[in-house]
Amino acid sequence: MKGIVFTEFLEMVEAKFGLEVVDSIIEKSDLPSEGIYTSVGTYSFNEMVSLITHLSDEVKAPMGDLIYAFGLYLFNGLGKSHPEVIVNYNNPIDLLYAIEDHIHVHVKKLYPDAELPKFKILEKTDSSISMIYSSSRGLYRLAHGLIEKTFEHFNGKAKITFELLKEDGTEVKFDIIQNG
């Protein structure tokens, strides 16, 4: 997993829960990186799992809720670091439609060893989109937060529902209907 994801994650933890919590989860996680990340570096996904597990313990919140909150936070972080990747879109549905074939393709050029999820589009209209997320990392709640924020980015709103096609969350269907 790319360092930019870790630096954004720790930034969110600091903003929401304070520096003591950042220090505490880094210490408890016993990380090969020792919690020192550069945005272009690549680190084991296990480090993220460990950090989120300890955060969940420490702040007594479910992992899924924390991952979702991180998705909300991460959208702005990625957008600020790489504005050129999203500047060409003028509505949320078109942006979501383009993740697989344009946005993440561009990301792969910026970070050749990025491990990206797949999004298979099932159906798209001007105000709705259905797609299947798949990734061995099962970060579908991260996708949920990123999707939610995509609408906010364009001052829009949407009803987002999802259904686990595989119990471990490695394949999840999203139904997204714009309603504002």
Total binding residues for ligand HEM by CB under 6 A?
26
Q: Please name which of 6, 114, 104, 1 lies closest in space to residue 51, comparing C-alpha atoms.
A: 6
Amino acid at 177: I
Judged by CB under 6 A, which of 124, 137, 157, 173 binds ligand HEM?
Answer: 137
Q: Does 9 bind ligand HEM (CB under 6 A)?
A: no
Residue 162 has φ and ψ, to the nearest 5°, of -140, 155
Q: Does 141 bind ligand HEM (CB under 6 A)?
A: no
Q: Please name which of 163, 4, 1 lies closest in space to residue 75, comparing C-alpha atoms.
A: 4
Closer residue to ligand HEM in complex, CB, 7/53: 7
Q: Does 169 bind ligand HEM (CB under 6 A)?
A: no
Q: Does 143 bind ligand HEM (CB under 6 A)?
A: yes
Residue closest to ligand HEM (Cβ): 135
Among positions 44-103, residues that touch ligand HEM (CB under 6 A) are 78-79, 82, 85-86, 99, 103
Closer residue to ligand HEM in complex, CB, 9/27: 9
- How far apart are the C-alpha atoms of 103 and 95, rounded to whole Å? 8
Judged by CB under 6 A, which of 12, 142, 158, 172 binds ligand HEM?
Answer: 142
Q: Please name which of 176, 37, 168, 26 lies closest in space to residue 96, comparing C-alpha atoms.
A: 176
End-to-end CA distance of the chain: 34
Amino acid at 56: S
SS3 for 175? strand
What is the contact surface with ligand HEM in residues (CB under 6 A)?
Answer: 1-2, 4-5, 78-79, 82, 85-86, 99, 103-104, 107, 111, 114-117, 135, 137, 139, 142-143, 146-147, 150
